[in-house]
């Protein structure tokens, strides 16, 4: 079962952090169809987080079709994320690692690499802020 954590330094709202953690676990294949998410009460008791926040995150995931809520039973993963995206991750990761090696070879330090990556990322996604 997935275990949530909260990073209060990021400026990302708590509900969005929960949503992102589930999405990430799905993308990495850590959550599969039929897996149950912890109940709101379980999350709240462990992470010391507002129950409305957890419910809101679960509603958002449901709205995206990633999970389904079964009344009185719990919240379950609706479908395993398309295997093609997981399969594609291997070679992409390999490319990225090669790129990292090249960047280090060119004398960039960790911070410059991160700045460059974030800049490209922001540019290519072409969205200001949501």
Partner 1 sequence: MTTVLEAEGLGKRYGRKWALRDCTVQIPSGHVVGLVGPNGAGKSTLLNVAAGLLAPSSGTINVLGGAPASDPKQLARVGYVAQDPPTYSGLSVADHLRLGAHLNPTWDEDMALRRVEQLGLDPRQRAGKLSGGQRAQLALTLAVAKRPEFLILDEPVASLDSLARREFLQILMETVSEDRVSVVLSSHLVADIERVCDYLIILVASRVLLAGDVDELLASHHRLIGPRRDPSSLPESQVVIEASHTDRQTTLLVRSDGPVIDPVWSIEPVSLEDLVLAYMGQGRTNHAAIDVDAKGER
Nearer to partner 1, 34 or 45 (CB): 45
As measured in angstroms, the least distance from the Cβ of 129 to partner 1 is 5
List residues binding partner 1 (CB under 8 A): 6, 8-16, 40-41, 44-53, 56, 127-130
According to DSSP, the residues that pair with 76 across neighbouring strands are 36, 68
As measured in angstroms, the least distance from the Cβ of 50 to partner 1 is 5
- C-alpha neighbours within 13 Å on the C-beta side of residue 110: 0
As measured in angstroms, the least distance from the Cβ of 125 to partner 1 is 12
Q: Of how many residues is the chain composed?
A: 130
Nearer to partner 1, 65 or 128 (CB): 128
Nearer to partner 1, 29 or 45 (CB): 45
Instruction: Tell me which long-range contacts 18-22 makes (C-beta under 8 A, separation of at least 24).
Output: 18/43, 18/53, 18/54, 18/57, 18/58, 19/57, 19/60, 19/61, 22/57, 22/61, 22/66, 22/67
Report the distance separating Cα 91 and Cα 89, nearest Å: 6
Nearer to partner 1, 17 or 81 (CB): 17
As measured in angstroms, the least distance from the Cβ of 97 to partner 1 is 27
């Amino acid at each position: 079962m997935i275990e949530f954590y909260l990073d209060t330094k990021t400026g990302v709202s708590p509900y969005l952090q929960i949503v992102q953690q589930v999405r990430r676990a799905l993308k990495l294949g850590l959550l599969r169809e039929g897996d149950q998410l912890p109940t709101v009460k379980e999350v709240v008791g462990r992470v010391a987080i507002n129950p409305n926040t957890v419910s809101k995150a679960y509603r958002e995931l449901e709205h995206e079709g990633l999970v389904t809520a079964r009344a009185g039973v719990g919240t379950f993963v609706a479908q395993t994320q398309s295997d093609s995206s997981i399969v594609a991750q291997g070679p992409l990761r390999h490319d990225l690692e090669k790129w990292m090696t090249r960047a280090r070879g060119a004398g960039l330090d960790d911070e410059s690499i991160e700045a460059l990556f974030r800049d490209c990322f922001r540019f290519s996604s072409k969205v200001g802020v949501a």
